[in-house]
Amino acid sequence: MEPVVFLRRWQRFFAAVRRADGSELTVHLPNTGSMASLNEPGRPAWIRAAANPKRKLSHTLVLMGLPGDGVAVVDTSLPNRLAQAAVLAGRIPALAGYVRIQPEAPIGVGGRRCDLLLTDHSSRADCWVEVKNVTWSRTPGLAEFPDAVSARGKAHLEELVGVVRRGGRAVQLYLVDRTDCERCSLAGDLDPAYAAAAKLALAAGVEFLGVGLNVRRQGDTFSLNVGRECSYHAES
């Protein structure tokens, strides 16, 4: 990936970065969250060239730098793929033993989909997994979700409750995509409705898991996977 300096974000899906030669480039920013705690101008960042050379924006913003050579994933197309790979590799013990994984599986009514459906376990019910990308941190070592009011996230929790009531297994997986946090929790002060829905989901039998990002780096080449222990706490 190419190292750059983050300058600013606008209209949600656009960011300006400065390249090593001093030129400014507009890149795609595939992130619907607020990116709170990551938006500071001057922060180191990394971009990658688009696979389609005809795409309007030639590059995508993927990683933001953190103090102490840490990084955070801001490309939200990655977390689901990282979570799926971690399940297949057995790096998430609570989700081990399932033979098949179906991404974007239909769930409930209204055309909603769940990030992962795990099936064909020898002794456990099929498992519906909703993955949330967590990058907000305002307390050292603690990541919090959401970083903006999330009506969509609340609806996902309600769908998971429906799975449990129908006799299935449901998991809300918080993927902490920054390397400087070992714990994750809910930002109940920012989104009380989401926190209340999470409390109801937990009482109904939905499982809540936290898992962290592992990064191996050689210069500006990064290898990302999921499986680092990152404990989930219901209250921050």
Domain containing 135: what range?
Answer: 79-232
Q: Is 72 left (phi over 0), alpha (psi -120 to 50) or beta?
A: beta
Residue 83 and residue 35 share a domain: no
**85 and 59 share one domain:** no
Distances from the Cα of 47 to the Cα of 2, 3, 200, 223, 228, angstroms: 5, 7, 40, 14, 24
The answer to whether residue 41 sits within a structural domain is: yes
Position 109 scores a pLDDT of 66
Tally of structural domains, the chain = 2
Of 73-82, 105-114, 124-133, 217-226, highest mean pLDDT: 124-133
**Residues 38, 109 within the same domain:** no
73 assigned to some structural domain:
no
In a domain, 221, yes or no: yes
Dump pLDDT digits (tens) for 182-192. 999 999 999 99
pLDDT of 116-175, one tens digit each?
999 999 999 999 999 999 999 999 999 999 998 999 999 999 999 999 999 999 999 999
What pLDDT, on the 0 to 100 scale, is given for residue 69? 83
Question: Cα 204 from chain centroid?
Answer: 24
Q: Within this chain, do residues 167 and 202 fall inside the same structural domain, yes or no?
A: yes
* Percent of all residues in the chain with a pLDDT value above 90, rounded to a whole number: 74
Give the domain CATH number at 155: 3.40.1350.60
Inter-axis angle of helices 192-204 and 151-165, to 10 degrees? 10
Neighbours of 77 (CB within 10 A): 12
Is the confidence at residue 236, as pLDDT, over 60? no
**Between 228 and 41, where is the model more confident?**
41
Pair 220, 179 in one domain: yes
pLDDT at residue number 126: 95
> With pLDDT > 70 as the criterion, what percentage of the chain qualifies?
98
Same domain, 136 and 29: no
DSSP the chain: -EEEEEEEEETTTEEEEE-TTS-EEEEE----S--TTT--TT-EEEEEE-SSTTSSSSEEEEEEEEGGGEEEE--TTSHHHHHHHHHHHT-SGGGTT--EEEEEEE-SSTT-EEEEEEE--SSS--EEEEEEEE-EEEETEEEEE-SS--HHHHHHHHHHHHHHHTT-EEEEEEEE-BTTEEEEEE-TTT-HHHHHHHHHHHHHT-EEEEEEEEEEEETTEEEEEEEEE-EE-S--
Instruction: Kindly indicate the confidence band of residue 235, based on its pLDDT and cuts at 50, 70 and 90.
Output: low
The reply to whether 72 falls in a domain is no
Q: Choose among 193, 96, 79, 178: nearest CA to 137.
A: 178
Domain boundary among 67, 89, 120: 67
Return the minimum-mean-pLDDT range out of 10-14, 88-92, 106-110: 106-110
